[in-house]
Amino acid sequence: MKKQLVIVGIVILLLAVGLSGCQEKSSENGDNNEPDFYTYENTEKGISIEYPDTWNKYENPQQVPGVLVLFSSPSAEPTKTGNLMISVLDLEGYMDMDWFKDAHIENLSIHPAYSDFNIIYEDSAVLSDLPAYKIIFTFTQEGYTWRQLEIWTIKDNTLYLLMHQSDQAYYDTFTDIIDQMIESFEIVDTSEQNGIGGGNDFDKLIGTWTTDDEDAILSSVTFYQDGASSSSKGDGTFEVSDGELITDYYDVGGGIYTFEYFFSDNDNTLTLTDVTMGKIAVYTKQTSESNDFDKFIGAWVKEETVSITFFSDGTYSSGVDGTFELSDGKLVLTNLGDTFDYLFSDDGNTLALTNIDTGVVEVLTKQG
């Protein structure tokens, strides 16, 4: 989690030395003080945004890890440059806006890149017609005072984070343009662009579903993000079209099946009605706790000191020894009675634990 939440700390350290060597120059607009705007689209990540035609554009800049695209105003002096950075990060495990806000601000406040960190504005906001959160803060670095704006939202377990940073003395110079860029930012439906169709319902289907109904056409089925599917009828494909789920299993004994579908129980229950025979079956979505259990196994460190070690027999060691379990999406240290929300990131190598009772967040890194 720490790598994702404080990614902007890395950005600032690198941005201050410039981005020479990877510039993609936009067209110049002469002496016109009102620039025209280009539209940047990234269909893979499902975003679009307008940016001034006089600004430079950098896609996946090596100097700024984790940033999908960076726009910057032309200037020979880095401290007088305005910019807007966009990160689109897939989150492992469920994370709501409040959780991210608290963890992110805490990490910013303790990050060594942000000396004299001070929030001067924070409030709820709107980004691409979705609930969002916005903060503006100042900090010092190498003798300069910087001001940074961040606004983010979370959709379908994906974080969309927009960041603007400049020398505080020149911050107001870019306010109008940055506001216009943020206002133009849109999150688009990539499933329809990829020909899969179905929008949000497609995403809800992703995962493994099982039923106790012995007469169900599909006794179990797994749907994948790329439109593939595996089931008791074999391997195949699926799509959502006109409110119906269409599966095509091409193995022997498979076939094409069309279902009307209905989600309930916070999208954890799926009812499928076969449109040909009228057969109804109710499915339950399988949780990832069994896979998460394996992710915990090993030693986890904080500030280069081993904090806790989890073992495959369900025991752990952390100053005191005890047992642990995963229940209802939470980590429970059974002998202590402590319960934590948990979130894996960085391919399972970073673990964020939030104590349910105290709200304290700890970010741990898996020892190699």
Percent of the chain clearing pLDDT 90 (strictly above): 24
Residue 248 confidence (pLDDT) above 80 = yes
Question: CA-CA distances (angstroms) from residue 21 to 18, 58, 61, 63?
Answer: 9, 11, 10, 10
Count the helix, strand and coil residues of the chain and give each as a percent rounded to the nearest 5: 20, 45, 35
Residues 6+ apart with CB under 8 A from 242: none
Q: Please, where are the H alpha helices in 139-254?
A: 175-184, 190-193, 200-205
Residues 364 and 368: their CA atoms lie apart, in Å, by: 13
Residues 121 and 175: their CA atoms lie apart, in Å, by: 14
pLDDT score of 93: 55
Helix (H, G, I), strand (E, B) or coil at 131: strand
Residue 27's φ and ψ, nearest 5 degrees, are -70, 150
CATH fold of 2-188 reads: Protein Transport Mog1p; Chain A (3.40.1000)
Select 289-366's CATH number: 3.30.300.30, 2.40.128.370, 2.60.40.420, 3.40.1000.10. Answer: 2.40.128.370
**What is the residue type of 281?**
A
Report, as an integer, the average pLDDT of 275-295: 79
Q: Looking at the chain, which residues constitute the CATH 3.40.1000.10 domain(s)?
A: 2-188
CATH classification code of 194-285: 2.40.128
Closest by CA to 6, choosing from 366, 313, 363, is 363
Residue 39 confidence (pLDDT) above 90 = yes
pLDDT in tens, 71-93: 998 875 666 778 999 999 877 55
Q: Looking at the chain, which residues constitute the CATH 2.40.128.370 domain(s)?
A: 289-366
Check: CB of residue 341 under 8 Å from CB of residue 96. Answer: no
pLDDT score of 13: 41
pLDDT in tens, 136-187: 999 998 788 999 999 999 887 788 999 998 889 989 999 999 999 999 999 9
Residues 350 and 368: their CA atoms lie apart, in Å, by: 11
Residue 287 pLDDT level (bands cut at 50, 70, 90)? low
pTM beyond 0.75: no
Instruction: Give bridge partners of residue 272 from the DSSP assignment.
Output: 261, 281
Residue 223 pLDDT level (bands cut at 50, 70, 90)? confident
